[in-house]
Amino acid sequence: MFCRNCGVELVGYSDSCPNCRLKQPPSRMTYFVSVLLVLVLGIGLGLISMFAYDFYTTSEPVISTQVSEWKEINKESVTFAVPKFIEEREAPRHLPEVIAEAQHCVYTVRTYREQGSGFLYNEDGIIVTNAHVVAGMENATIITQNENEYEGEIIGFSERFDVAIIRVKEFEGREPFPIDVEEEYMTGEEIVALGSPSGVQNTATVGHITNTNRNLTINRYEYEDLYEISAKISKGSSGGPLLSQKNEKFIAINAAKSLADPSIGYSIPLYKIESLITEMIENEA
């Protein structure tokens, strides 16, 4: 290769003439090498890109699968059991439904002297009522809500507390409505007084416990720790049960009404007389 200016032969790969110092254009070999290098670099980068793409695209499902498997394996560890009290909890029933069921166990109690009410206490055919309803009697007529009449034997009677029990053989094996003989209920409790005022069966009056621990003496009977209630108790309702709306249980025996204010009634808490009733039953047996 010769210098294009002075014609001196150029030796090596110098980019200028050693004689005139004129800068020479790149040779063909230089162009060829440059192009070759560009091609090699391009191919290399392309191959690297392909390998990288294949690597990441094939690895991603594996990661996803591993995460999915981990979730399945650890699913039990993040799942908690529903508390038993929530599982068994039932929605409260409508009050008319509760009353209708309770009234199957509420009866009219009648003697030739008096008429009152009573309710089934246990599966042995025992009915609880007020002592003043059956005072001086050995037997009483028990009338169901279907107006069927049964003969009942008075087997227990308190001279001091206004409580009596009657046995009706035909009622043995009958299931009573739930009864609460343990809990003391507070002021504000929503209640229903059930009974047969003036012989009218299936009567229910709604109200609240307006006070507790009331003490009264009526004739020869002593009443201690009574529930004062706003549900009206009329003549003939004595001996009927007091129903807790919330707990759907009989909780007391309706006993008397206020002479000063007939809208106020009084009921004997079952938790106060449960031991007396049990004693009378055991003594009869």
E strand spans, 145-195: 149-157, 164-167, 190-195
- The SS3 assignment for 274 reads helix
Residue of 162, 196, 234, 244 marked active site: 162
Q: What is the CB neighbour count within 10 angstroms for residue 161?
A: 18
φ, ψ of residue 13 to 5 degrees: the values are -115, 30
What does the DSSP assignment read for 16-57? B-TTT-PBPPPPHHHHHHHHHHHHHHHHHHHHHHHHHHHHHH
Does 94 participate in catalysis according to the annotation?
Answer: no
Residue of 132, 180, 234, 267 marked active site: 132
Does 238 participate in catalysis according to the annotation?
Answer: yes
Does 132 participate in catalysis according to the annotation?
Answer: yes
Residue of 158, 234, 238, 267 marked active site: 238
Q: What is the CB neighbour count within 10 angstroms for residue 58?
A: 9
Q: Supply the residues annotated as catalytic.
A: 132, 162, 238
